[in-house]
Amino acid sequence: MTTRAPFRVGLAVVALILAACDTSPSPSRSAAPGQPTATPAASPAASRAPIGGRLATVQSRRQLICGVNGGLPGFSFLEEGTANWSGFDVDFCRAVAAAVLGDPAAVEFRALSADDRGPALQTGEVDVLIRNTTWTVTRDTSWGLFAPTTFYDGQGMMVTRETGADSLEDLAGATICVQSGTTTELNLTDKMRELGVTFSPQVFGDIDATYDAYTAGRCDAVTSDRSQLVARRTAFTTPADHVLLDVVMSKEPLGPVTPLGDDPWFNVVKWVVFATFEAEEQGITKTNVGQMRDTSTNPVVRRLLGAEGELAANLGLEADWVVDVIGAVGNYGEIYDRNLGPTTPFNLERGPNRQWTDGGLLYAPPYR
Amino acid sequence: MTPAPASPPRTDRHAAVPPWRNVRLLRIAGQIVVVLIVAIIALVLWTNLATSMARSGLTFGFGFLNTTAGFEIAEGPIPYRATDAYGRAFAVGLLNTLVVSVAGILLATILGVIVGVARLSGNWLVNRVAAGYVELMRNTPLLVQLVLLYAVFLQLPSVANSISLGGSVFLNQRGLFLPRPLAEPGFGLWLTLLVAAFVVALAARVTASRLEGVGRPTYRLGTIGIVALVAIPAVGWVALGAPVRLDLPVQQRFNFVGGVVLSPEFTALLLGLVVYTAAFIGEVVRGGIQSVRRGQLEAAYAVGLRPMQTLRLVVFPQALRVIVPPLTSQYLNLAKNSSLAIAIGFPDLFSVTRTMANQTGQSVSVIVLVMGTYLALSLVTSLFMNLYNRRVQVLER
Amino acid sequence: MSGERLAPPVTLVGPIGWLRQNLFSTWYNALLTVLVGAVLAGLTIQVVQWTVAEARWGVVTANLRLFLIGLYPIEEAWRIGLSLASLSVLAGLSAAVYGGAAVRTLASSLGAGQAILAGLAAVSGLGPAVTLVLLLDAALVWTAFLVGLRRPVARRALALAWLALVPISVILLQGVGGAVLPVVSTNLWGGLLLTFLLAIVGIVASFPFGVLLALGRRSDLPAVRFLSTAYIELVRGVPLVTILFMAAIMLPLFLPGGVRIDQVYRAMAGITLFSAAYVAENVRGGLQAIPTGQIEAAHAIGLNAVQTNLYIVLPQALRSVIPANVGLFISLLKDTTLVSIAAGLLELLGIGRAVLAQPQWFGAHLEVYAFIAAVFFILCYTMSQASYRLETALGVGTR
């Protein structure tokens, strides 16, 4: 008779499991979404200011977990077989790590596909998502808070030279490869509907599979952010056979994203980005940042670099956090040139990604 | 004289059994405890889920199914535009999965029976080739087979260099383009004729098997039924003047337009699933046929049945009893394995719902929806197969 | 009666006789043989020609490290070597102590596999150290086998060592922090290493859970039976990808706030939940095959329900379902490829697709996928052969 044995044994095991389970108290210290937490204006300048939330978590963990693409040369790319991450987004991850932890190398990079990045951020699996993510109202309200745009991009279309297509209308009846889970998928539909052009979409969940199918000839064209098309083209066997159409199908403002409901952490990431803008505007570079901090008489520069003022404490950071950031990755211009500039295979024109003083869209609010 | 032995102490059967030894009580108490524990665990998980979702801005609800989808789906049995709702996109994905599953089950059964019979063949070469095929399929992952097949299909010639068969069928890396029959007036009439022929043939077969069952002469009713099934539609076709028009695929600048196309994604998925599952079905069929005792065969031959009759009347019914339960699980596996379509870009249910989860942000609702749908699909399939199983099982005396 | 002894007719015995019997017995058999033979010969020639002449096997040798251990840092790879060595020692000892064709097949396959890997490593320029270590491990299997034959080894200690191997290896591979054993983040684990870890942890962790579910499903208590059946039917009705997807997305939501679980552990949890239901069904089959007489006899000699299960029922039941569970392990090993699409982990297939994205290996799909398929085939075929021998040894179905 196996009457009582099963439930007794089950009982014992379940009891063991419950006993071993560490049910920590419910997270009462996390702020409800949308509610600003009190800014400890009078707190001491220690970086461990009790702001709570993700900032303290990252600091106690001593490592920043950054969600990135991993397969986009120029933005976030992992050299195969090594642990060398490089790219525009990667540098911004390092900037945040330098600001919060003082060490630009204290980053754990998580490669996320386009489909996974939203849920990864929502569930808090990554601290910040710097993965060429377009700022939209849907994402702003469901994925996370968007820090200032680091790269103003637009959606483009790449075709093989032999199709002879010059414009979107030339692509009537064509098969177009697109990646799922992106704004490009939605924009493609909208734009083609607007133009009245019929096409056959071919949707892939994997960025590699998308470009693979395109180069194999499965599709006549592939659409994505222009910067991504340029970047991926450099990895083709015959880049010269592929040409970007001279169309910009949509606005694609790319920037970092932090999880919802954590304003202090959002402020930190936001101001790291602004610091790089401001540094370029003020002419602070990676090489002269130390010297500027010590010798500059410009009050804007002095405040920014922490030589005077107690502003860093409001963010929960060390006073010279900007020095750490610029010393690690340089100002915005240096980051751009290093990853996407004339010395790289991409040679992307800065376009709107210039300082407002040069006619671009980069504009940092005053640091005071 | 010895005193009368004292009467044995009366054991009062109704003396109270202490509660900790009362089996009935313990059983009820045990169940209550188990249910309580499971309920507590569920409650803890639920609260955690609720707080986490509130904190991350995730919501639960199925209202998004009525909002505009905004994304395109590459192929599907029903027309779908990006302006349709998420609900329709879900329906397209579900239909794609159903089409692949049903077609896969049919084809895999046919191929599986062939493989099973080949495994039992006396021809050494055929036997070993079938065995090698089964071992190869069983020991390599289905996903690897699928991506390999898809990579091979992409190597087909480009649209400009399509392989053409008779000028109306074209094969290239974008798919197999076949002419599509379009109905002309009179097609409806022919369809009714076809159905009528089918009914007549079925009636003839049923009558024939009934007569055969009681040993009365069938007057070749079965053959008449089959002949009617073929002759009536054929005659009707000629009489109505072939009421279909072929819509041929025509090569345009980028693609072929017109006709019906089997995309490489669909074909790779179907072929991969069929070839993989047929190996397992072959083994099941082989086990079933081998389970029929040799004595049955010998007795059938002794009574004068020919090999074909033996197979139909003696071997198959007995083999089916052993075959049907594992066959059910293979069918279910095929239906579930169709979810691997996401790896090769075929918009099946799982692939479409992943896009939905991403675009709406409602990951939790979508997960519940997709798991519920697959569960319903599995339950319906096993229900049908269990009904069939009951029919073929031996009624124990 | 004198006379010469005539040799049997050539057409009935010997190779020609065999050919006539097996390949050309009837006219349609002959036709079939010719057709199938022609097709087979054509295919084989094509495949051999491609393998030897046209295929770019450089994609495998150049990336062998990625295929085997993923992004695991080379400085810490000694931990993998240590785990492999312990596995080799235990395998050799088990082959000697437990005996039996099945265990010996597995142990010798382990040794042979490592030798083959050593050869591959030598060709791939991974360095002589790797080749030497692998050869040493292969030799370790053999030496442990010989030692096990000579010296007495406690069976219980060996069983405990096997049980302890899995958690200790996982902890060793991940590291605990500090200078000696720095933490190697699980998102660096990849390749064949990750495939093995996922499959082994999956089956080991799901086993007790599955046995409990099987017992629960056969229980007389309606509540327990309902819960067990509900879980088993629910899990068996959905595809593994959906469970992995759910684990990848929702597991952190179920945990108290702030607890982070690596993607690898989430995938392991999903695989465990999934395989527990299948183990339960296997074990239930074994439980059903136990004659009631056994249980009645156990009760007759005074064993209570728990003791009956522990000492009489479960040992017999589990022993009879070992072949089915080996089949389940083989399926699980193949199913680990699903984590590359559901959870974005870089196990063997995932690494293969990442390697294909390298520009210099563009178009090498067939080579990479054929290599991966060959690796799986060798692993699974070996295990299924061992399982087959085990079945014959246990006499399953004949008693």
Kindly state whether residues C216 and C312 are assigned to the same domain: yes
Each residue of A13-24: pLDDT tens digit? 444 443 333 333
pLDDT at B9: 64
C390 domain residue, yes or no: yes
Which range is least confidently modeled, A62-66, A147-151, B190-194? B190-194
Each residue of B158-214: pLDDT tens digit? 888 888 887 788 888 888 888 888 878 878 888 888 898 989 888 888 888 888 888
Burial of B58 (0-12, 13-18, 19+ CB in 10 A): buried
Closest CA to A94 of A360, A328, A320, A345: A328
CB-CB neighbors (< 8 A) of A57 in chain C: 258
Instruction: Domain ranges for chain A, please list them.
Output: 54-151+253-353, 154-251
Minimum distance, in Å, between the CA of residue C375 and any CA atom of chain B: 9
pLDDT at A334: 93
Kindly state whether residues C166 and C257 are assigned to the same domain: no
Mutate to test the interface with A, among B153, B253, B265, B353 (most CBs of A within 10 A): B253
Quote the radius of gyration of chain B (alpha carbons, Å). Answer: 30
* pLDDT interval class at A1 (50, 70, 90): very low
In this complex, do C256 and A235 lie within 8 Å of one another by their Cβ atoms? no
Nearest CA in chain A to B345: A204
C8 domain residue, yes or no: no
Residue B209's φ and ψ, nearest 5 degrees, are -70, -35
Checking if the pLDDT of A326 tops 90, the result is yes
Instruction: Domain ranges for chain B, please list them.
Output: 64-165+263-359, 180-247
In this complex, do C36 and B374 lie within 8 Å of one another by their Cβ atoms? no
Quote the radius of gyration of chain A (alpha carbons, Å). Answer: 24
CB C381 within 8 A of CB B139: yes
The residue-averaged pLDDT of A308-321 equals: 87
Kindly state whether residues C154 and C250 are assigned to the same domain: no
pLDDT at C73: 83
Q: Which residue is associated with the tokens 């901090």? A: A293
Alpha-carbon gap, residue C350 to A111, rounded angstroms: 13
Kindly state whether residues C175 and C199 are assigned to the same domain: no
pLDDT at B70: 77
* pLDDT interval class at A10 (50, 70, 90): very low
Minimum distance, in Å, between the CA of residue B366 and any CA atom of chain C: 10
Checking if the pLDDT of B313 tops 80, the result is yes
Kindly state whether residues C207 and C343 are assigned to the same domain: yes
pLDDT at A207: 83
In this complex, do B34 and C234 lie within 8 Å of one another by their Cβ atoms? no
Instruction: Provide, rounded to the nearest whole percent, the portion of chain C with pLDDT above 70.
Output: 97
pLDDT at B5: 63
In this complex, do C220 and A208 lie within 8 Å of one another by their Cβ atoms? no
Fold: same for A54-151+253-353 and A154-251: yes
In this complex, do A189 and B72 lie within 8 Å of one another by their Cβ atoms? yes
Each residue of B364-383: pLDDT tens digit? 889 999 999 999 999 998 88
The residue-averaged pLDDT of B292-318 equals: 88
Minimum distance, in Å, between the CA of residue C315 and any CA atom of chain A: 15
Checking if the pLDDT of B58 tops 80, the result is no
Minimum distance, in Å, between the CA of residue A220 and any CA atom of chain B: 7
In this complex, do B345 and A203 lie within 8 Å of one another by their Cβ atoms? yes
Strands B260-262 and A175-179: unpaired
Residue A9's φ and ψ, nearest 5 degrees, are -65, -45
User: A243 has which bridge partners?
Assistant: A159
pLDDT at C396: 53
The distance from CA B36 to its chain's CA centroid, rounded to whole angstroms, is 38
C9 domain residue, yes or no: no
pLDDT at B350: 92
| DSSP of C331-357 | HHHHHGGGHHHHT---BHHHHHHHHHT
* pLDDT interval class at B316 (50, 70, 90): confident
Give the domain CATH number at C324: 1.10.3720.10
CB atoms within 10 A of CB B391: 9
Q: Which residue is associated with the tokens 């179905």? A: C397
Each residue of C89-126: pLDDT tens digit? 888 888 888 877 778 888 888 888 888 888 888 888 77
Q: How many domains does chain C have?
A: 3
Nearest by CB to B371, which of C238, C349, C384?
Answer: C238
CB-CB neighbors (< 8 A) of B364 in chain C: 249-250, 253
- Under CATH, domain A154-251 is a member of which superfamily? Periplasmic binding protein-like II (3.40.190.10)
Instruction: Provide, rounded to the nearest whole percent, the portion of chain B with pLDDT above 70.
Output: 95
Cβ-defined contacts of A262-265 (< 8 Å, 24+): A262/A30, A262/A31, A262/A53, A262/A54, A263/A31, A263/A36, A263/A37, A264/A37, A264/A39, A264/A51, A264/A52, A264/A53, A264/A54, A264/A55, A264/A315, A264/A316, A265/A53, A265/A54, A265/A55, A265/A58, A265/A127
Nearest by CB to C308, which of A5, A30, A124?
Answer: A5
Chains with ≥3 Cβ pairs under 8 A against C?
A: A, B
Q: What separation in angstroms does the CA of C198 have from each of C74, C78, C205?
A: 21, 20, 10
C7 domain residue, yes or no: no
Nearest by CB to C258, which of A8, A57, A215?
Answer: A57
What is the average pLDDT value for chain A, to the nearest integer?
A: 82
Nearest by CB to C221, which of B27, B339, B343?
Answer: B27
Which range is least confidently modeled, A16-25, B308-317, C70-79, C129-138? A16-25
The residue-averaged pLDDT of C377-398 equals: 79
Kindly state whether residues C256 and C397 are assigned to the same domain: yes
In this complex, do B49 and C254 lie within 8 Å of one another by their Cβ atoms? yes
Alpha-carbon gap, residue A233 to A229, rounded angstroms: 6
Amino acid letter, C198: L
Chains with ≥3 Cβ pairs under 8 A against B?
A: A, C
Name the region of A351 (left: φ>0; alpha: ψ -120 to 50; beta: rest). left
Alpha-carbon gap, residue A322 to A326, rounded angstroms: 6
Nearest CA in chain A to C220: A3
Amino acid letter, C226: F
Is C56 near chain B, with CB under 8 Å? no
pLDDT at A347: 85
Nearest by CB to B37, which of A14, A185, A202?
Answer: A14
* pLDDT interval class at B129 (50, 70, 90): very high
Kindly state whether residues C370 and C321 are assigned to the same domain: yes
Checking if the pLDDT of C177 tops 90, the result is no
pLDDT at A43: 36
The residue-averaged pLDDT of A193-201 equals: 88
Nearest CA in chain A to C249: A119
Minimum distance, in Å, between the CA of residue C85 and any CA atom of chain B: 26
Q: Which CATH topology does A54-151+253-353 take?
A: D-Maltodextrin-Binding Protein; domain 2 (3.40.190)
pLDDT at A177: 92
In this complex, do C257 and A23 lie within 8 Å of one another by their Cβ atoms? no
Which range is least confidently modeled, A202-211, A339-348, C386-395? C386-395
Checking if the pLDDT of B265 tops 80, the result is yes
pLDDT at C398: 44
* pLDDT interval class at A4 (50, 70, 90): very low
Kindly state whether residues C199 and C176 are assigned to the same domain: no
Sequence-ordered list of residues with C-beta below 8 angstroms from that of B236, at least 6 positions apart, any chain: B189, B190, B193, B194
Is B189 near chain C, with CB under 8 Å? no
* pLDDT interval class at A81 (50, 70, 90): low
- pTM listed for this prediction: 0.83
Nearest by CB to B355, which of A142, A180, A220?
Answer: A180
Which of helix, strand or coil describes residue C6? coil
In this complex, do B147 and C349 lie within 8 Å of one another by their Cβ atoms? yes
Mutate to test the interface with C, among B138, B139, B366 (most CBs of C within 10 A): B139
Nearest by CB to B144, which of C234, C250, C372?
Answer: C372
Alpha-carbon gap, residue C57 to C368, rounded angstroms: 8
CB A339 within 8 A of CB A234: no
Nearest by CB to B56, which of A3, A4, A259?
Answer: A259
CB B222 within 8 A of CB B204: yes
Kindly state whether residues C270 and C370 are assigned to the same domain: yes
The residue-averaged pLDDT of C311-323 equals: 86
In this complex, do B123 and C29 lie within 8 Å of one another by their Cβ atoms? yes
Is C356 near chain A, with CB under 8 Å? yes
Minimum distance, in Å, between the CA of residue B249 and any CA atom of chain A: 13
* pLDDT interval class at C47 (50, 70, 90): very high
Checking if the pLDDT of B12 tops 70, the result is no
pLDDT at A37: 37
Which range is least confidently modeled, B16-25, B323-332, C55-64? B16-25
Q: Which two tokens stand for residue A26?
A: 């419910």
Q: Which two tokens stand for residue C113?
A: 């596999």
Each residue of A165-183: pLDDT tens digit? 888 888 888 999 998 878 8
Minimum distance, in Å, between the CA of residue C199 and any CA atom of chain B: 13
Is C63 near chain A, with CB under 8 Å? yes
* pLDDT interval class at C209 (50, 70, 90): very high
> What's the domain range around C91?
72-184
CB B343 within 8 A of CB A180: no
Each residue of C337-354: pLDDT tens digit? 999 888 878 899 988 888
Is C367 near chain B, with CB under 8 Å? no
Asked casually if ipTM beats, i.e. exceeds, 0.95, the reply is no
* pLDDT interval class at A40 (50, 70, 90): very low
CB-CB neighbors (< 8 A) of C220 in chain B: 27
pLDDT at A34: 34
In this complex, do C221 and A6 lie within 8 Å of one another by their Cβ atoms? yes
Q: Which residue is associated with the tokens 């009617």? A: B228
Q: What angle, rounded to 10 degrees, do the helices at C365-394 and C348-356 form? A: 170
pLDDT at B50: 86
Q: How many CB contacts within 8 angstroms connect chain A with chain B?
A: 143
Checking if the pLDDT of B16 tops 80, the result is no
Alpha-carbon gap, residue C265 to C396, rounded angstroms: 36
* pLDDT interval class at A122 (50, 70, 90): confident
Alpha-carbon gap, residue A95 to A278, rounded angstroms: 14
Q: Name the CATH architecture for the domain at B64-165+263-359.
A: Orthogonal Bundle (1.10)
Q: How many CB contacts within 8 angstroms connect chain A with chain C?
A: 109
pLDDT at B13: 62
Kindly state whether residues C228 and C152 are assigned to the same domain: no
Minimum distance, in Å, between the CA of residue B140 and any CA atom of chain C: 5
pLDDT at A9: 47
Kindly state whether residues C284 and C152 are assigned to the same domain: no
Largest CA distance in chain B: 125
Kindly state whether residues C304 and C338 are assigned to the same domain: yes
Each residue of C5-41: pLDDT tens digit? 888 877 777 787 777 777 777 888 888 888 999 999 9
Higher pLDDT among residues B60 and B55, named by residue: B60
Mutate to test the interface with C, among A68, A110, A123 (most CBs of C within 10 A): A123
pLDDT at C336: 94
In this complex, do B82 and A193 lie within 8 Å of one another by their Cβ atoms? yes
pLDDT at B359: 79
Minimum distance, in Å, between the CA of residue C35 and any CA atom of chain A: 35
In this complex, do B141 and C256 lie within 8 Å of one another by their Cβ atoms? no
* pLDDT interval class at C258 (50, 70, 90): low
